Structure 1
């Protein structure tokens, strides 16, 4: 976009306690005194409705910048909810890695808490929206590595509005002579999906990102052992049995989750032996042959790892025990300090050795969000063998080392990260990003995958899908259908599934595969985010897929010739309100197991009601 105007403000360090600026419709204040740095502020209008605030710091000699707070008020005009970081409370010590609710409701100001973001924790942005899916403000910070905090709260005083704060340098970074950061304000009256997609392109440009290449297999259905077998049931025979059935229903990659490593003992504590990453020869008498056996079925083979933690009972612990950040109290393990080159070297070499020795195709990399300045001690010493000052920079380096080393061995290496380490900076070192653990939770899996999609250039995967073996096929099918805009990972024990469940999976995965490209790479519009999404439309070339998650009136933008309509609701009908004439389509309506219900001609113009079963699909002929 063309820059329309530039206004520059220069302030000497002696007078940088608080300054005010006009940025588009916003009156901002920048607060924070720093005697070591001069501060330059530029305000740019990039396009109508899009402004940038650039803050530049410069010093005579290296120093750690002092905290800076940017404050402003957003008028409460046609704003009903927002999308933001998942709520890692920057004020408190963490109690649980997963205890971060999905952000939708804006809290009152006196109860608002800053959300922490960093290279390993979410993304520094928030999008304020109305209930018609329209962007009101998409706010973002260009900084993707060092910690940033974002806070929003509704304030009924002095005119109803929202108090918004952005915090920089509230957590340890590193000594520097200069620094530059931009804050983007997008107030365009456009669909919020487009505003977020533009934001991702902005991050890519500002940080000169080169996203990891995506092998074709990353787009195809997966099977994951986690919910099906857990750790106790993990062995060569059980994996091979699941792999055979997984291939038959349409999966093309298997992820062997936790439990494959030597000396695993749940009674000793979770992750007690992490760090050695050696094959358990009791469970796998000939691991390389086992991998070959699975690959001969036509499946790629991935292993779960957690490079962030070293277990207290591992052999490497004695060597590295003085190179840790802190104890993970919920596990019998310590979180590594990646600022030590020995730590990065050991972890990279172990994963590379696993890949070389066993010819595996990639890794599911877990728990990297444990490494950041929020979890680590507040005073992080430099020196004593550390070659990085910033924990975040060192962690990015570790993940870069692992990815590049694995890619040398296998150019099509498959690397999966999960929420919350989804930052665009990390999209350079992984090609798949998965929703955080939410077994048998349709609402959360749907919401987290769709939330991630607009702000991620890589492939979005659902959390592995599991359900009670006595569930009806129609309701079990909703686990898959509600996450249809992400790559499915099946994780139910296929040996215990009824014939109807297997038939359902085979049929629906076949439909998913036929629309794979549009579902994972098409232009998506996800509607009703304030209600954790009501329906989605995604189009690419001559194909369109429409997925209804909740009973609602569907108002399509496109209905291409090759059409897939999914009823992922509990209702036996769908209602369309077509503002333009999409023509007459010859359609076939199926139940979730592939039984043809009927064929008919449907004219998609005006109000159209289609009777179809729960978990049913429509295909055009």
Structure 2
């Protein structure tokens, strides 16, 4: 067993870690106080796992930030904290955070780690955090361990991790086309599998009138079966009943000013597909009863079949990109042997498939759009996807907020999209606005019948789509500073070059620091409390959820300034 030392910047806290397994660990010279880096040589590439283990005090930690957490914002115990990280699911990073949004310790592995067990949890015996990382699959002969124990905002700590991953990947990271940062229409919640050429063209026409730039055609184009299953997946050919002439249909959508993104789920093959007899012995097992299986990407013939299925829509029908779904279905354990396989792991096979797909698509269209979905957020996939969508959370503005912020914190410079926005036809205008405010720090996808909205909804949708465009510099490109990850982000601040946007969710006390701040009321009450604007002349403009101005004044505010902002509305606070 090999040991290594972890030390706080002031030298007061020192712990000894251990390495078990076929490998060595060597500390790098410290480039900055509080950031510890170690080079690990490992036998994991040849099938021998290596485990790193140490403890660290974190008395005031209130949550463990992890890439995949959904509503669980707790401090897990060591025996319940193990999470499998794969290149097709999650990412090798975690951060212990206190109640003041400070990271106590942020632990990460380099981007060449394809598979590991990543555990950070409370040791009941010593009341410290036990960190245990077991690397099982990687590209190359070694990897890097990074431990950041600087006292800084947890978002800054995570930004430093993504910056390091970006430096490791270099020019292999996919470029983000400009349209990936523009609002899009999705057919999923509006149409589900009942989608047709006629409905897509109707949505494209309506979307153009609202300012969307692309239509994402989801599941249903490849089957006449509308029972929400996947038994007919695998051939990826349009159904002649709903899409009789795919290429001509795509041309009509382009003529309406919309780019065209087509859904495809490469891992899945159904027993009713034409490809089933050819590939049924090249699967990892069933995923949906006994009617849908997961193809084995370790097999060359599987990758060749899927490559043609993914290239055909761009080459033959003229689509602008693909929504590649269910990649995380490949994150299976206990997989069978792969007769004729040429990859050491499923994840290697997935990466070889995705590399082949993106290489071919970029020859056809250099600015091809590739949508990935949370949970496949590993930096290794930055080479392939051009935008990342929050996981499905229909009708849930709060969960959309949490998931988009989680994605943003690990996405670096890549585009992050909301889950598709939907609401009931009888919803209040304020409720409609709250869905956009939940997605405020992402690029929105909308999935409503836009050409049939009641006037009140139409006004709100137009206003918020415009707001997102007008404030994109801060919202999408500014410094993102979410607050209280343990409470699902009570407030989120984005600091841009010329303005700051603060979204208030469950914390109504806003600290203004910059000379131009837009405060968005995403909470349930009208009353907000502003600090930091006293002793100066301030201009205040308040608007309601549809953008209508309801109040304007120039005043010298008190130390704690109470302002009335309609739910779903905003306040612009400016001083010289």
TM-score range, shorter chain: over 0.9
| 445, 467, 471: which one aligns with 2:423 | 467
Q: Who is 2:463 aligned against?
A: 507
Distance across 2 between alignment mates of 1:537 and 1:129: 18
| 239, 251, 261: which one aligns with 2:200 | 239
Q: Who is 1:21 aligned against?
A: 4
Could you state the TM-score of these two structures normalised by the residue count of structure 1? 0.86
CA pair 607-260 structure 1, distance change in 2 beyond 3 A = same
| 220, 226, 241: which one aligns with 2:182 | 220
Confirm or deny that 1:294 pairs with 2:249.
no
C-alpha contact 2:284 2:335 (8 A) present in aligned 1: no
3-state SS of the aligned residue for 1:345? helix
Question: How big is the shift at 1:496?
Answer: 4.4
Question: How big is the shift at 1:504?
Answer: 0.6
CA pair 248-466 structure 1, distance change in 2 beyond 3 A = same
Confirm or deny that 1:554 pairs with 2:507.
no
| 44, 50, 71: which one aligns with 1:68 | 50
Q: Who is 2:10 aligned against?
A: none
| 53, 66, 91: which one aligns with 1:84 | 66
Distance across 2 between alignment mates of 1:510 and 1:467: 19
3-state SS of the aligned residue for 2:95? strand
CA pair 566-33 structure 1, distance change in 2 beyond 3 A = closer
1:133-148 to structure 2, matched below 5 A, reads: 133-148=101-116
After superposition, give the CA deviation of every residue in 1:74-127 in whole Å (9 maximum; x if it has no partner). 21322111201426xxxxxxxxxxxxx4442012334x1311111101111101
CA pair 273-162 structure 1, distance change in 2 beyond 3 A = same
Confirm or deny that 1:196 pairs with 2:193.
no
3-state SS of the aligned residue for 1:541? coil
Q: Who is 2:438 aligned against?
A: 482
3-state SS of the aligned residue for 2:204? helix
Distance across 2 between alignment mates of 1:55 and 1:489: 42
CA pair 423-559 structure 1, distance change in 2 beyond 3 A = farther
1:51-66 to structure 2, matched below 5 A, reads: 51-57=36-42, 64-66=46-48
Distance across 2 between alignment mates of 1:211 and 1:150: 24
Number of residue-to-residue matches in the alignment:
568
Distance across 2 between alignment mates of 1:55 and 1:480: 45
Q: Who is 2:73 aligned against?
A: 104
1:378-393 to structure 2, matched below 5 A, reads: 378=335, 380-381=337-338, 384-393=339-348
Distance across 1 between alignment mates of 2:111 and 2:182: 33
Structure 2 unmatched runs, 5+: 8-12
3-state SS of the aligned residue for 2:266? coil
CA pair 604-208 structure 1, distance change in 2 beyond 3 A = farther
Q: Who is 2:93 aligned against?
A: 125
Question: How big is the shift at 1:143?
Answer: 4.5
Question: How big is the shift at 1:603?
Answer: 4.9
1:581-596 to structure 2, matched below 5 A, reads: 584-596=537-549
Q: Which moved more, 1:532-541 or 1:40-49?
A: 40-49
C-alpha contact 2:473 2:497 (8 A) present in aligned 1: no
Confirm or deny that 1:566 pairs with 2:520.
yes
Q: Who is 2:81 aligned against?
A: 113
1:122-521 to structure 2, matched below 5 A, reads: 122-158=90-126, 160-169=127-136, 173=137, 179-208=141-170, 210-232=172-194, 234-261=195-222, 263-267=223-227, 270-330=229-289, 332-372=291-331, 375-378=332-335, 380-381=337-338, 384-457=339-412, 458-521=414-477
Q: Who is 1:5 aligned against?
A: none
After superposition, give the CA deviation of every residue in 1:204-257 in whole Å (9 maximum; x if it has no partner). 22344632111111111111110111112x112222222222222221111111
After superposition, give the CA deviation of every residue in 1:315-334 in whole Å (9 maximum; x if it has no partner). 11222222212211357221
More helix per residue: 1 or 2?
2
CA pair 356-378 structure 1, distance change in 2 beyond 3 A = closer
C-alpha contact 1:302 1:362 (8 A) present in aligned 2: yes
Question: How big is the shift at 1:572?
Answer: 0.8
C-alpha contact 1:121 1:421 (8 A) present in aligned 2: yes
Question: How big is the shift at 1:418?
Answer: 0.5
3-state SS of the aligned residue for 1:283? coil
Q: Who is 1:613 aligned against?
A: 566
Structure 1 unmatched runs, 5+: 1-17, 88-100
Distance across 1 between alignment mates of 2:550 and 2:175: 42
C-alpha contact 1:362 1:414 (8 A) present in aligned 2: yes
Q: Who is 1:15 aligned against?
A: none
Distance across 2 between alignment mates of 1:237 and 1:608: 53
